[in-house]
Amino acid sequence: MEQPDVDEPVFLISAAAELAGMHAQTLRQYDRLGLVVPRRRPGGGRRYSLRDVATLREVQRMSQDEGINLAGIARILALTKRVTQLEHEVERLRPRADVGSRIFTTGPTGNVVIVERGRRARRDEGRAIVLWAGLPSEDEQTDG
């Protein structure tokens, strides 16, 4: 069986409100405040996705259980979105990082010279030797 698309806007405001355990007017208020902004139909009607409903539930939990005000919740949601964007960016850039270490040297003027594997950098030219370890793997990040 195929999994539903969590981003597909399928729920009317009344259905989304019921699924989230809220009043439809609360959803309208959250839309105006930019907390949970549903997609709009050509006629202007709101359509909520499963992800929107999950966010509505999380907003309600933070507000009722944690006592966080709506401005704080908006900030938390914005930061959570930014973290997700940065995680995607890291995953996009990870293949560029060499699996092994790279060594390069820099001269007194700041020019960078990559040293081939198995060769030694000459210290007599006033260069600093730098070991580039690359990005840690996910296993290395969680180990400690």
The CA distance from 31 to 13, in Å, is 11
pLDDT of residue 126: 57
Is the pTM above the cut of 0.75? no
Sign of the Cα torsion 23, 29, 31, 36 reads negative
SS (H, E, C) the chain: CCCCCCCCCCECHHHHHHHHCCCHHHHHHHHHHCCCCCEECCCCCEEECHHHHHHHHHHHHHHHCCCCCHHHHHHHHHHHHHHHHHHHHHHHHHHHCCCCCEEEEECCCCCEEEECCCCCCCHHHCCEEEEECCCCCHHHHHCC
pLDDT of residue 133: 57
| Average pLDDT of the chain to the nearest whole number | 83
pLDDT of residue 60: 96
The CA distance from 29 to 17, in Å, is 12
pLDDT of residue 70: 96
Tens digits of residue pLDDT in 119-132: 665 665 555 555 55
pLDDT at residue 5 above 60? yes
Tens digits of residue pLDDT in 78-118: 999 999 999 999 998 877 665 555 566 676 677 776 666 66
Range 17-43 average pLDDT: 95
Percent of the chain with pLDDT over 70: 69
Residue with tokens 């990005």: 135
Is the pLDDT higher at 7 or at 95? 7
pLDDT at residue 141 above 70? no
